[in-house]
Structure formats: C-alpha cells, structure tokens
Structure 1
Amino acid sequence: MQPKNNTSAIERVDALIAHIGISQAAFARRCGVEPSNLNKRLSGEVKFTDNYFAKIAHAFNVNFEWLRNGIGEMFAEEKAIGKAQFAAFNQMLDANASPVSQNIISGDNYQGTQTINATEGKIAALEQKIEAQAQLLAEKDKLIARQEQEIEFLRGLVNKQQ
C-alpha cells in the first residue's frame, strides 16, 4: 500500500535528510538502496512504498507513521542508553558472534536495535563532519606554509637589494 500524498512524503524524507545532516547518497547507502533509486523518489518520479519507508525507519530510528503519514514525532521513542552501556552491549555481541547467540543476547529487541542504529547513524554523520573539517584544516595548513615560503622569498629579495 502506498501513502496517499507523495509530496508530503518527499518533504518528510527531505526534512529527515536535512536533520541528520548527511548527503542523499550517504542516506541512501545507509538505508541499503541505490542513491539513484532514492533520487527517483525524491523527484516524484517513483512513489515511496511501505517497504521503502520501513528501510528508512529501520536505518535511522524514524517513526514509521510519521514518515508514511506525518503522524506523531519524527523519531521513534528512544530508550536512554549511555556510552558505557552501548560499548558493553557491542562487546557482548562481538564476543558471541553467532546469529543465535546475538539474538539471545539482544532478545531480538527491535527498539534497542533502533536506538543503536540511530546512534550509529549519528556517529557516522559526525565522523563525516570531522573528516570534512580535517580536510579544511589540512588545506589551511598548506596555504599558511605556502604564504610563509612566499614571505621568506620576499625577505630574501629585500635583503639582496639592501
């Protein structure tokens, strides 16, 4: 079943992408779809389906009803999980790598998985921002080094003229 108003769905997905602060391509990859596939939906060429909304909801812990129909808040209710609990949970999952033991440990807790997925999405977005800032700082350092070389060159010319 498809939502009645695709334009509103497009607006909600656009709002979500803007809120998360990542590119459409990164958003699509995180949802497990091709960026061109997402682009067709955002341009109105293809309508969003419930399955597509489910992928987005799962990837970013978004409230499915908000995404599909505009009902409720953007994000599903999240249980508070601290950094230490999150790290401990990941260590348990790493230590028990079989799918059966992972299901037992996690209790197939959909809400917990949603919270972890949302946290991972936010971490990925922050990592991208940090990488972009690191690149800008590296460019700034190169410019400063080039300017310092030019200053030394000009000082050398001035000293030769004196």
Structure 2
Amino acid sequence: MIHRLKEVRKALGFNQTNFAKQLGITQTAYSMIENGNRPLADKYIKVICSVFNVSENWLRNGKGEMFLSSPYEKEFNEIFTNLTPETQQYLLVMAKELLNTQEKLLNPNEKE
C-alpha cells in the first residue's frame, strides 16, 4: 500500500509537506508512513479517499482504478464495503441481472 500512497500523492501533484497538511499531520510523520516506518492509520485512508475521490479498494488492495469515476461509484463503494460478504455476493448477482435486463431493453433485436 505504501507505493500506492506515494503514487496518489504524486498523481495529485503534492509534495510530502503539502500532502501531510491535507491529512493534518507533520511532514516527518507522513514521511515515516511513506517510507514504511509507520503504518497508515485507517482514519487517514478514509480522509485520502473522501477528500481526493480515491478508490479505497485500490489504495488498500491495488484493485480497480486509482480514482473513483463518479459520485455514484463512491456512494456505491461506501455502501458495498459495509455489507456482509453474503449480502455483497447477492448484490453482485442482482447487479449482473440488472445489466442483462438493460442490454435486452437497449438492444431488443439482438438474439442471445
């Protein structure tokens, strides 16, 4: 996660000092985090994702895109991460069904 943190900072055009200010910590404390000498607390992960529209899944796990593409995606991700794994699985099944229905409505002449 450390290298993704640095990648986000650079993508946003911040140096360590300015990025640390956004998080409400000193440059020294931030440098220790970025160098792996101190863990990145969950509250700072939440701040980074909320303030800069960064995907929490990308920051934590390296999956998906660095930045969320829309406010709907951000809201959906917040809801999704608070669901139980079983409910997440159900939601994915329902979303796939919704996508199939949308395709049928938008392309009624295409055969399956």
Question: Quick check: which one's helix share is greater?
Answer: 1
User: Normalising by structure 1, what TM-score?
Assistant: 0.41
Gaps of 5+ in 1: 1-8, 80-109, 112-162
C-alpha contact 1:32 1:55 (8 A) present in aligned 2: no
Is 1:62 the equivalent of 2:37?
A: no
CA contact under 8 A between 1:31 and 1:59: conserved in structure 2?
no
**Structure 2 residue runs without a partner (length 5+):** 76-112
Q: What is the alpha-carbon distance in structure 1 between the residues aligned to residue 24 and residue 51 of structure 2?
A: 8
Larger Rg: 1
Distance 1:14 1:24 in 2: 9
Given the alignment, which residue of 73, 93, 103 partners 2:65?
Answer: 73
Question: Which one has more relative contact order, counting CA pairs under 8 Å at least 6 apart?
Answer: 1
Q: State whether residues 50 and 68 of structure 1, in contact with CA within 8 Å, keep that contact through their aligned partners in structure 2.
A: no
- Mapped partners of 2:69, 2:23: distance in 1: 20
Number of residue pairs matched?
A: 74
8 Å CA contact 1:57, 1:64 repeated in 2: yes
Alignment pair present for 1:14 and 2:6? yes
Map of 1:41 onto structure 2: 33
Confirm or deny that 1:25 pairs with 2:17: yes
Q: CA deviation at 1:43?
A: 1.1
Question: TM-score w.r.t. structure 2 length?
Answer: 0.57
| CA distance, structure 2, for counterparts of residue 32 and residue 58 of structure 1 | 14
